[in-house]
Every structure is written in C-alpha cells, then in structure tokens.
C-alpha cells in the first residue's frame, strides 16, 4: 500500500503528541492533545486542516502496552492505517540523538515511518478474546509476583517471625493462589467464546510440556498465529533463536541468543521445556544425548534447554498448520 503522508505519535499515559512528515512548518505541524477518544478526534480535525488526507496517510507509534489502546480503538473505528513498532527499533534507527522532548520524539517517529515506508507492517487489531486473555495474563502475573514475594518474606523472617505474622503471611499466600485459580478459570471461559482461538489453544496444548499458561501465551503473542509467518520469527521474538557472533578472522564468538527478547514468555517456556524433558521420551533421550556430547555442566544445560524450547515452538506451529493434535513418538 502506498502512503504519501506520515504521522508520528508519541504516546504517554495521559497525553499524545503528533507530528507530520514531511513538515511544511515544524511549529504548526505538531500537536499536543489528550490520550482520549476526544483528543484523537481533535487530532483528526487538525490533520485535515494541515492538508493531510486519511486515505493517503499512515499513523506510526511505539507500542507502549495499554497506553496505546485508545489509539488502536480509534484507528480501528475510523479505518486508519496504523503501524505499531518496537521502541528499540525506532530508537536505533535514529543513530545518535541529542536532546529529548515529546515534540521531537513525535517528529522522529514520523520520519522513521517515512524512511521505512516500504517495510512498515500495518497493525491488525486482535479479537476481543485475545485482548481479554492478554489482560488476564497480566493480572495473573501480578498475583504470582505477590505470591513469590510473600513466600520469600516467609523464609527471610526466620527466628524473628511470630506465629501471628506467619499465619497472616500464609493466609495472604493462600489468597493469592485462590485469585490465580479464579483468573485461570476465567481464561478458560474466554477461550470458549471464540472457536478459532479455542481450536488453536487445544492444538497447542497437545504438545507435551505445554500447559495452560504457555498455550495462552503463544496464542496471545502470535495473535492466534497471524502475527508471525514462521516459527523462527516467533522464536526470535521470544529470545530463543540463536545468532552468530563473528566478524572477519579475529572475532569468533559463540552462537548465542539475543538479550533483546520477551523475558517473561521465555522464562515460562523454559518451564515447559523442563516438563517436556520429563514427559516426552523422545525429548528426554535428545536431552541426554546432547548433554553427553557437550560434556555436561551448567553451560551445556542452558544450550540444550534452549534447543528444546525451539523444538517446542516448531511443534506448536506445526500442529496449528496441520490441524491435528501432536502425537508423542516413542522412538
């Protein structure tokens, strides 16, 4: 799709800043407004006054989580072309930048959209079920963090802890566990509201080692397997795909995964890999063979575990593509 006008939007909790590229007058081609539907309507009025035609423009912004939701809803309602990009991609594309303010950032985002116009990927709004599941994953994660903090407090108090304090702490831990269970029950109810989402969840869950949370994580962060064309790209997004680290004849580093990744999803996939080693005979033998080849040790365990995580991603994508549940092969 061809775009001739580019609007960069810098998003914060309460406000938005928009800039037009190419700009006729930098002072006039910038607007500060509220991060609300009313504020976004003001933005559209301003864009039309500046001669920007909605069919010929693309709105580009950084994906900043829930703060982006008003813009997503507005663009979907008005049929605007929207591209949400990684803040790190935009930052690195600008080279060395001196100074920072919202107006400058909006202008840089608009310029980024122009410079990468041939590679911009338009945002596809997830279904209601996917969006609800994403919120529930975040809620569950908060309860799990609270539970972990309370357990750590329990062990740290030691001899100074009173019986009353221990009772309160255990009661709080139990309450967090009850909340987690309620969230998981609601997740299952949401899954059943959309047949396509439930179908892919069931297929992914058939892979040994993949439980409720990893299955929902994968369905949510792949937008029900629409956001990533290949399992390799999703593995790169999670931080599982290995990359070379070499240059000429002098730099011969180890092949390793990038630290730019979704750390939470990667950690949860690590738990799935450990479970798969126990319950999948084929992966168990693979793990033992590879550990022996690499001489054992902590470093070897990390490398082999990462390979198993990649295998799990391949299997999840494969079952969704085939439409058939995974079958464990006892070879």
pLDDT 10s digits, 198-216: 999 999 999 999 999 999 9
Q: In this predicted model, what pLDDT tens digit does every residue of 106-124 receive, in sequence order?
A: 889 999 999 988 888 888 8
- pLDDT tops 70 at residue 251: no
Residues 174, 262: one domain? no
Instruction: Mark which of 85, 115, 145 sits at the end of a domain.
Output: 115
Question: Is there a domain that residue 94 lies in?
Answer: yes
- Residue 182 and residue 154 share a domain: yes
Question: Is residue 121 a part of any domain in this protein?
Answer: no
CATH value at residue 80: 3.30.420.40
Token pair listed for 122: 């338009």
325 and 228 housed in the same domain: yes
The rounded distance, in Å, linking the Cα atoms of 209 and 124 is 30
pTM over 0.75: yes
Residues 110 and 135 in one domain: no
In a domain, 320, yes or no: yes
Number of domains in the chain: 3
| Distance, CA of 119 to CA of 110 (rounded, Å) | 14
Mean local confidence (pLDDT), 38-58: 93
Q: How many CA atoms lie within 13 A of 85 on its CB side?
A: 25
**Residue 324 maps to a domain:** yes
Enter the tokens of residue 7. 């609007």
Region of 121 on the Ramachandran plot (φ > 0 left; ψ -120 to 50 alpha; else beta): beta
Q: Is there a domain that residue 120 lies in?
A: no
Query: How many other β-carbons are positioned within 10 Å of the β-carbon of residue 243?
Result: 10
For residues 330 and 199, membership in a common domain is answered with yes
H or E stretch including 39?
Answer: helix 37-49
Residue given tokens 């580019």 in the structure block: 6
Its domain, for residue 258, covers 194-331
Q: Read off the pLDDT band of 25 (50, 70, 90).
A: confident
Tell me: pLDDT of 99 over 60: no
Say yes or no to pLDDT of 260 above 80: no
Q: What is the pLDDT of residue 105?
A: 87
- Does a structural domain hold residue 122? no
Which residues, in sequence order, are bridge partners of residue 60? 8, 83
Same domain, yes or no: 209 and 299 = yes
Question: 156 and 44, same structural domain?
Answer: no
Task: Say if residue 268 is in the same domain as residue 307.
Answer: yes
Q: How far apart are the first and last CA of the chain?
A: 49
Q: Is the pLDDT confidence value at 331 over 70?
A: no
Considering the domain architecture, whether residues 153 and 222 belong to the same structural domain is answered as no
Residues 180 and 198 in one domain: no
**Domain endpoint, select from 156, 172, 193:** 193
Q: What percent of the chain has pLDDT over 90?
A: 58
Which pLDDT score is estimated for 192? 94
Q: How far apart are CA 6 and CA 117, in angstroms?
A: 9
Q: Which of 115, 144, 174 represents a domain boundary (last residue)?
A: 115
Average pLDDT over the chain, rounded to whole? 87
Residue 209 lies in a domain: yes
- Is residue 261 located within the same domain as residue 285? yes
Say if residue 205 is in the same domain as residue 315. yes
Instruction: Tell whether 213 is covered by a domain.
Output: yes
- Say whether pLDDT at 93 is over 60: yes
State the Cα–Cα distance between residues 152 and 161, nearest whole angstrom: 13
Distance, in Å, from the CA atom of 309 to the CA atom of 246, rounded to the nearest integer, reads 24
């Amino acid at each position: 799709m061809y775009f001739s006008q580019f609007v960069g939007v810098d998003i914060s909790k309460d406000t938005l800043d928009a800039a037009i590229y190419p700009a006729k007058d930098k002072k006039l081609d910038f607007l500060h407004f509220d991060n609300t539907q009313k504020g976004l309507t003001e933005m559209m009025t301003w864009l039309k006054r500046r001669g920007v035609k909605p069919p010929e423009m693309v709105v580009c912004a950084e994906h900043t989580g829930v703060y982006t939701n008003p813009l997503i809803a507005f663009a979907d309602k008005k049929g605007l072309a929207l591209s949400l990009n990684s803040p790190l991609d935009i930052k690195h594309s600008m080279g060395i930048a001196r100074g920072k303010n919202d107006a400058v950032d909006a202008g840089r985002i608009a310029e980024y959209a122009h410079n990468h116009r041939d590679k911009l990927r338009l945002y596809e709004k997830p279904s209601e079920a996917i969006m609800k599941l994403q919120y529930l994953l975040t809620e569950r994660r908060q309860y799990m963090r609270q539970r972990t903090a309370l357990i750590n407090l329990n062990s740290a108090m030691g001899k100074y802890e009173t019986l009353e304090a221990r009772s309160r702490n255990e009661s709080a831990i139990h309450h967090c566990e009850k909340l987690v269970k309620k969230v998981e029950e609601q997740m299952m109810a949401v899954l059943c509201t959309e047949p396509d989402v439930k179908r892919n969840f069931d297929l992914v869950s058939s892979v040994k080692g993949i439980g409720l949370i990893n299955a929902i994580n994968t369905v949510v962060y792949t937008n029900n397997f629409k956001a990533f064309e290949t399992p390799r790209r999703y593995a790169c997004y999670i931080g599982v795909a290995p990359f070379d680290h070499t240059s000429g004849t002098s730099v011969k580093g180890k092949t390793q995964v990038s630290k730019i990744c979704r750390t939470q999803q990667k950690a949860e996939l690590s738990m799935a890999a450990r479970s798969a080693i126990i319950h999948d005979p084929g992966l168990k033998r693979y793990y033992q063979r590879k550990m022996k080849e690499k001489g054992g040790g902590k470093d070897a365990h990390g490398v082999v575990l990462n390979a198993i995580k990649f295998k799990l991603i391949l299997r999840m994508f494969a079952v969704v593509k085939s439409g058939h549940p995974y079958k464990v092969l006892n070879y």
